[in-house]
Structures are given as structure tokens and as C-alpha cells.
């Protein structure tokens, strides 16, 4: 079995150098504003050219991260970046936004597309949908267990990429709004402020019940290889180059069964949060997975330790074998042929060979000079010398020939044809919205008021058929379904639901395969006109827009797909596989009515469903008195989470009268937007 790729993070040129010189098979980095680590140095202009060149020289693939949501007004700049990416022949592009996917497919012929972990896909149905849309690889969620990874790898639907080391978010990637809501810094737009690392406490919990230890699966790499994982990804584009060097070295050692306790200890000293965890992989969730960055974690990266790993990449690594053929004849310019793989160059010396007066040129002397490839990526594999008798040639001429030959080889290796780019225009066709309909979601049947009326009602999956029929209701599918794909599929098929609300591509794919009309949820992160067009082509009949759009952006969106916005409800801030409330009390004691308290004493509800937990905003978004300010939408969505039946009735009355809000509320992100 071929060894899987070791994929290293590069947030700076020093980190890129460290990764390549330590043996990374591939690297990933961002260019400009459209990537999930905007605070990293990233690569622009000449730096991007130099990075691409260095990767080719080391024979490593480079994957460009373009894994953020992009607004309509940013699409022209995104097009320019795509053109540059094709010009430099990137090996792969990592994407989150369905609109950017659509744009890339139309523009870039032959560019390999990888689905970012931000796309939240962790089921076979989801992988099939990604393959249909043009992806060749999926970066799987960090939350998957060994058994779940095995299921996804077994059918080889797509290449699979797994995070094996680095930071671990509490929330499933692509499903988090915590930073956006608390500080207008969007994780989906590459500006996450990591508020989850601040105190959020469950009763009797750790005090930091949204902060997980760092992930490390390096010791499991041999097992992951047997499962069929194609790429081992290291997190850390914000990390120092010594960290990158240590992680790459450890991964390569693990592939050979040589990963040591010292390497693990060094990695922990270089960066960790209270150590490492493999809890999700081993299906051991709970309090032991939680941790924070302690003082000892900071001071453990000593100058001596950093220096020891800096030495690993202070000089170029000799990774390319060269076969030399040297030819020298009296009164003629000497020639040197250098071959490296399919690349072959010939250079001549600048001085003709003369007759020797004393010491003639020997094969041993030539070989010695040609083997001096230090400071380059080359090493002499063989040297064939064809030298006439009794010749004189200064060694400096041979040294110059060697340098010229290696420089010419480097140019040949780094030269790569550009990928073809199709010049396309981007025109927004104005959307024609009708009088907005009213859609309601109830998380519990106990919430439903008497004589409720709406154009669509969504009730939990598992609601009895007669109840769905009584309310002419559809179902909403759980956001988190990793490991429960078949159970969800069976429940949906048995439900007889006339339509389904789907917040992820996993659930979209399951509903679509079941032949049930799909209403797209807000966590599909539909952020631009092209994303709406792509959603329509996938088969989504209607969709909620992203919670992160401004009212002005909503008004400007084009396309034909009917769209809606949430005008009432506690915004879901996180979806997690690891219930934070259970760090302090049992599920029986919680009764699905848990909450977290932040450092200011504000309480955030937590509700559990299908083995996942959702953290909700401390107060509801309320726009019922400002509906006249919302333009270009086809339906209003009201999302009832923790409200009682009486409170739901009061809110529905307020919808009729456009009443002002009572108590604490927020306008969401409709006016302040996100970075």
C-alpha cells in the first residue's frame, strides 16, 4: 500500500521552507484575503510565485486555501486570484463556498478541487454529492471516530484527508457563529477571534467548557493508513516554523513505525493546550478532552528546543538525484550533462582543455568536484567521466559547470505550464421576490400553539405521521448526523414528510436521495448569488440565507432560487459532538435544559439532539417590528428553541402586529455584519 501524503501548514515562507526541508509531501497556504487564516502572513505577489517554485523544486504538491465565504462584491477579486492560481498551476484548491465552487468550475479547467472541512461533510451521501459537484477530495471533520472514518474510506467515493495534529475547535467546522455574533469576526470568513477559549462554564464543569485540548493522532497514523486515508493533515498556519518542522518529522516517522515518546513530548512542549487528545477517534468523549493554554504550555518551548528543530531546516535538503556525464578533450570546451528524472541539461565550460605540463586532470578529481552539491536540493547519484589523456583544466571551471548545470536543472524542474482559464463574466440577474410567506420551526411539539397557521411548519425528525399530517408539516433534519446516516435516512423515509429542512450537505444529500423536497437551512452558508445558483442546481427548492449577511447584501442578491431569512429565534452559535454541560452534571440531571455561563454572567442555552449539542445565543434575534426593512426575500423564518407554548403564541401575535420586542433581544448581524 502506498504511503499517504503528509500535508503541512504554511503561514509564512519560513514555515514553508521548514515543511519542505523536513520532507512534507504537500503543503497548504493562503493567498490574500480569502482563506480561513487571514491573520497568517499568507502569500501574495512575488511571494506566491516563490512559494510555488520552491514546492516544485522539492517535488511537493501545493494546495491553495480559498475556504471562506465570499460576498457578491468580492467575486471579481476572487476571479483574479483564481486566474493567478491557474497561472501558477496550483495542485489543488481547498473550497468552502458553494458559489466559489461554481465560479472555479466554470473558470479553471483541470484544477483539482478539495472540499474544506468547513463544508461539514461526514457521511457517504455527502461525499457522493461532493463528487457529483466536481470535488476529488474531502477534508473530513475532526469529530469522526475510527469506525466512522473506516466506513467513509471503504468505498473510495473520494480521496479522504484527515487532521492528525493541531488545534481542535469545539464546534464542527463550518457550523460556528460564536465569534461572528459575539464580536462580528466571522470564522466562516477567516477572522475567528476564538472566544470559545474564554471562560464559558457549566455548573460543576471545567470553567472553560468550550475549549478542547489539541488533537494528536500521529501515533495512529499506521492504522489510518490501513483504513485507506489518503492525506494526513497538520493544523497550524498560525504556528512557528519549528512547530511545522517537528510535526512533519513526527508524521514521517510514524509512517515508518518510528514515532517516539520524545517526539510526542517535543510536540507537546512546542505547542499544546493541556496536552493532546484522541478522544473523538477513540470514541471517548467527555471531560478529559477539555483543556486550555496554561503557563507551563507557553514556557515549555525553550530556546534550546526551538534551536534543535530549527537545525532540521537550516540548510536545503538533498532530495533530487542527479546523474552526471563529464566529457573533456584536448583543445575543446569540456561539457557536462546533468540528468534528474525526466529533466536533462548540457552545459559547456568557458575554457578549453589544454595539455598538462605537470599534474593531469584525473577522474577522481572531477568526481570530487561534481559531488559538491551542498546548498542545493541535488545530490550526485552517479558520475561518468570521459577524459582524454594528459589534460589540464582548472577545478574552478568544473565547479562553475556544476553550478550552471544544477541551476539549469532547477529552472527546468520549476517550469510548469499554466492551467487553462476560461474568461467568464459575472452578471447578477435581479431576483423577483413575492409577498413573503411564513415558515415556522418548533423544536418540541409542546411548543405548538393552538390553531397555529403558517405556509410551512418544520417539526423534529421522528414526529409521528399523524401529527405531521395534522399540521401539514415537514421535518427538520439534525445538523449533526456523523455515524447515524442510515438511521436518519430510515427515519426520513418512514416519516412521510412532504418536505425537509436541511442545514448541511450531508442532510441535503440524504433527503434528495429519498426523493423528498429540500428546503436549505442557514448553515449551508449561502452567502452570494452564485451559491444560490449552485444550490438550485443541486436540487434545493428554497433556502434560508446565511445568518452573517447584512440587510443590504440580502437585498442585492440575484438568482431565481426562493430565499428567506430568520426574523425571530435564538441563533445557533455552535454544533458540537461533545456536550459541554455534561462536564458538570449528568444528562438525567440536565433534562435537556442545560446552559453555559460566560465571564459576564450571561447564560447561553444548550440543547442536545441525535448525539450532538447546540449552543444558542443568550437572547433571540428579533426583526418582527422591522420587516419593512427586509427586501428581496420570499419567506420569513421563525425558529422556536427554548420558548414555551405561551411565548410562541405571543411571538406569532407580534408577527401579525409588527409589535416591538419585549425583554432582551438582538438584531443579529443584519445591521453590523461581520469581518
Q: Which residue has the cell 435564538?
A: 570
Rounded to whole angstroms, the Cα distance separating 215 from 235 reads: 9
Query: 518, 535 in Cβ contact below 8 A?
Result: no
**pTM (two decimals):** 0.96
Measured from the Cβ of residue 430, the count of other Cβ atoms closer than 10 Å reads 11
Rounded to whole angstroms, the Cα distance separating 202 from 208 reads: 8
Rounded to whole angstroms, the Cα distance separating 452 from 500 reads: 19
Q: Give the closest residue to 369 by CA, choosing from 322, 402, 405, 324.
A: 402
Q: Give the closest residue to 531 by CA, choosing from 507, 563, 490, 575.
A: 563
pLDDT of residue 198: 96
pLDDT of residue 562: 98
Cell of 505: 450537505
Name the E strands within 154-202. Answer: 159-166, 200-201
The CATH number of 437-570+620-657, from 3.40.50.620, 3.20.20.70, 3.30.70.100, 3.40.630.10, is 3.20.20.70
Write the Ramachandran bin of 69: left for phi over 0, alpha for psi from -120 to 50, otherwise beta.
beta
Torsion sign (Cα): 396, 400, 402, 403: positive
Measured from the Cβ of residue 87, the count of other Cβ atoms closer than 10 Å reads 14
Rounded to whole angstroms, the Cα distance separating 243 from 109 reads: 36
Rounded to whole angstroms, the Cα distance separating 642 from 593 reads: 8
What are the phi and psi torsion angles at 464 (to 5°)? -55, 145
The residues pairing with 604 across neighbouring beta strands, listed in sequence order, are 596
Query: 598, 604 in Cβ contact below 8 A?
Result: yes
pLDDT of residue 3: 87
3-class SS shares of the chain: helix, strand, coil, % to 5:
35, 20, 45
The residues pairing with 63 across neighbouring beta strands, listed in sequence order, are 28, 92
Element holding 598 (H helix, E strand)? strand 594-598
Rounded to whole angstroms, the Cα distance separating 119 from 158 reads: 14
Q: Give the closest residue to 138 by CA, choosing from 123, 150, 151, 292.
A: 123
Bridge pairing between strands 456-460 and 474-476: parallel
pLDDT of residue 258: 97
> What architecture is domain 5-168+212-313?
Alpha-Beta Barrel (3.20)
Task: Provide CB contacts within 8 A for 470, sequence distance 6+.
Answer: none
The separation between CA 283 and the C-alpha centre of its own chain, rounded to angstroms, equals: 22
Rounded to whole angstroms, the Cα distance separating 409 from 414 reads: 9
Rounded to whole angstroms, the Cα distance separating 161 from 442 reads: 36
Query: 598, 200 in Cβ contact below 8 A?
Result: yes
Element holding 28 (H helix, E strand)? strand 26-30
Q: Which residue has the cell 463550518?
A: 174
Query: 141, 120 in Cβ contact below 8 A?
Result: yes
Measured from the Cβ of residue 646, the count of other Cβ atoms closer than 10 Å reads 10
Residue 566 C-beta-side C-alpha neighbours within 13 Å: 27
pLDDT of residue 433: 93
pLDDT of residue 39: 61
pLDDT < 50: residue spans in the chain = none
In angstroms, the Cα distances linking 223 to 114, 117, 255 are 23, 21, 10
pLDDT of residue 41: 62
Give the burial class of 526: count Cβ atoms within 10 A of its Cβ; 0-12 exposed, 13-18 middle, 19 or more buried: buried
Coil, helix or strand at residue 576: strand
Query: 63, 494 in Cβ contact below 8 A?
Result: no
Torsion sign (Cα): 130, 190, 61, 409: positive
Rounded to whole angstroms, the Cα distance separating 85 from 92 reads: 9
| Tens digit of each residue's pLDDT (9 = 90 or more) over 590-649 | 888 899 999 999 999 999 999 999 999 999 999 999 999 999 999 999 999 999 999 999
pLDDT of residue 589: 86
Query: 290, 301 in Cβ contact below 8 A?
Result: no
Rounded to whole angstroms, the Cα distance separating 292 from 527 reads: 33
pLDDT of residue 38: 63
- DSSP annotation of 452 reads -
The residues pairing with 340 across neighbouring beta strands, listed in sequence order, are 343
Amino acid at each position: 500500500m502506498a504511503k499517504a501524503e503528509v500535508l503541512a501548514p504554511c503561514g509564512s515562507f519560513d514555515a514553508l521552507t521548514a515543511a519542505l526541508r523536513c520532507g512534507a509531501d504537500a503543503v497548504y497556504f493562503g493567498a490574500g484575503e480569502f482563506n480561513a487564516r487571514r491573520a497568517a502572513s499568507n502569500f501574495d505577489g512575488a511571494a506566491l510565485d516563490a512559494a510555488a517554485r520552491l514546492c516544485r523544486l522539492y517535488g511537493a504538491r501545493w494546495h491553495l486555501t480559498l475556504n471562506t465565504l465570499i460576498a457578491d462584491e468580492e467575486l471579481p477579486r476572487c476571479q483574479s486570484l483564481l486566474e493567478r492560481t491557474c497561472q501558477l498551476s496550483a495542485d489543488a484548491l481547498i473550497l468552502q463556498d458553494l458559489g466559489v465552487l461554481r465560479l472555479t468550475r466554470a473558470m479553471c479547467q483541470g484544477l483539482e478541487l478539495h472540499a474544506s472541512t468547513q463544508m461539514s461533510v461526514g457521511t457517504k451521501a455527502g461525499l457522493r454529492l461532493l463528487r457529483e459537484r466536481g470535488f476529488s477530495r474531502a477534508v473530513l471533520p475532526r469529530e469522526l471516530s475510527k469506525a466512522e472514518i473506516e466506513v467513509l474510506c471503504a468505498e473510495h467515493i473520494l480521496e479522504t484527508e484527515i487532521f492528525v495534529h493541531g488545534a481542535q475547535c469545539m464546534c464542527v467546522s463550518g457550523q460556528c457563529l460564536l465569534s461572528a455574533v459575539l464580536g462580528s469576526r466571522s470564522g466562516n470568513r477567516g477572522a475567528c477571534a476564538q472566544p470559545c477559549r474564554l471562560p464559558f462554564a457549566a455548573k460543576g464543569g471545567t470553567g472553560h467548557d468550550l475549549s478542547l485540548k489539541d488533537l494528536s493522532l500521529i501515533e495512529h497514523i499506521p492504522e489510518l493508513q490501513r483504513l485507506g486515508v489518503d492525506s494526513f493533515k497538520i493544523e497550524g498556519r498560525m504556528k512557528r516554523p519549528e512547530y511545522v518542522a517537528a510535526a512533519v518529522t513526527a508524521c514521517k516517522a510514524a509512517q515508518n513505525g518510528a514515532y517516539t515518546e520524545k517526539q510526542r513530548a517535543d510536540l507537546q512542549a512546542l505547542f499544546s493546550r493541556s496536552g493532546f487528545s484522541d478522544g473523538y477517534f477513540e470514541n471517548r468523549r467527555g471531560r478529559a478532552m477539555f483543556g486550555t493554554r496554561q503557563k507551563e504550555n507557553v514556557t515549555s518551548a525553550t530556546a534550546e528546543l526551538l534551536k534543535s528543530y530549527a537545525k532540521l531546516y537550516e540548510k536545503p535538503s538533498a532530495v533530487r538525484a542527479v546523474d552526471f556525464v563529464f566529457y573533456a578533450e584536448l583543445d575543446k570546451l569540456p561539457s557536462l550533462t546533468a540528468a534528474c528524472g525526466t529533466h536533462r541539461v548540457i552545459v559547456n565550460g568557458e575554457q578549453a582543455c589544454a595539455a598538462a605540463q605537470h599534474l593531469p586532470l584525473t577522474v577522481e578529481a572531477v568526481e570530487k568536484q561534481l559531488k559538491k552539491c551542498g546548498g542545493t536540493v541535488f545530490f550526485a547519484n552517479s558520475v561518468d567521466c570521459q577524459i582524454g589523456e594528459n589534460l589540464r583544466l582548472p577545478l574552478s571551471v568544473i565547479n562553475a559547470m556544476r553550478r550552471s548545470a544544477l541551476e539549469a536543472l532547477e529552472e527546468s524542474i520549476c517550469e510548469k505550464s499554466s492551467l487553462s482559464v476560461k474568461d467568464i463574466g459575472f452578471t447578477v440577474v435581479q431576483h423577483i421576490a413575492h409577498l413573503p410567506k411564513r415558515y415556522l420551526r418548533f423544536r418540541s411539539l409542546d411548543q405548538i400553539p393552538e390553531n397555529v397557521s403558517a405556509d410551512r411548519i418544520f417539526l423534529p425528525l421522528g414526529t409521528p405521521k399523524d401529527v405531521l399530517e395534522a399540521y401539514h408539516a415537514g421535518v427538520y433534519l439534525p445538523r449533526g448526523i456523523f455515524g447515524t446516516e442510515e438511521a436518519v435516512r430510515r427515519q426520513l423515509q418512514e416519516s412521510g414528510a412532504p418536505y425537509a429542512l436541511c442545514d448541511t450537505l450531508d442532510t441535503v444529500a440524504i433527503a434528495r436521495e429519498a426523493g423528498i423536497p429540500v428546503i436549505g437551512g442557514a448553515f449551508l452558508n449561502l452567502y452570494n448569488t452564485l451559491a444560490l445558483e449552485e444550490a438550485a442546481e443541486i436540487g434545493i427548492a428554497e433556502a434560508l440565507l446565511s445568518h452573517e449577511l447584512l440587510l443590504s447584501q440580502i437585498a442585492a442578491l440575484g438568482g431565481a432560487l426562493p430565499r428567506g431569512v430568520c426574523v425571530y429565534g435564538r441563533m445557533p452559535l455552535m454544533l458540537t459532538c461533545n456536550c459541554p454541560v455534561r462536564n458538570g452534571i449528568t444528562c438525567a440531571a440536565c433534562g435537556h435544559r442545560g446552559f453555559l455561563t460566560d465571564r459576564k454572567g450571561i447564560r447561553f442555552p444548550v440543547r442536545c439532539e441525535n448525539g450532538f449539542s447546540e449552543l444558542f445565543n443568550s437572547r433571540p434575534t428579533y426583526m418582527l417590528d422591522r420587516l419593512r426593512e427586509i427586501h428581496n426575500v420570499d419567506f420569513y423564518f421563525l425558529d422556536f428553541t427554548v420558548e414555551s407554548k405561551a411565548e410562541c403564541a405571543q411571538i406569532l401575535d407580534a408577527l401579525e402586529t409588527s409589535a416591538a420586542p419585549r425583554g432582551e433581544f438582538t438584531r443579529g448581524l443584519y445591521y453590523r455584519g461581520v469581518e
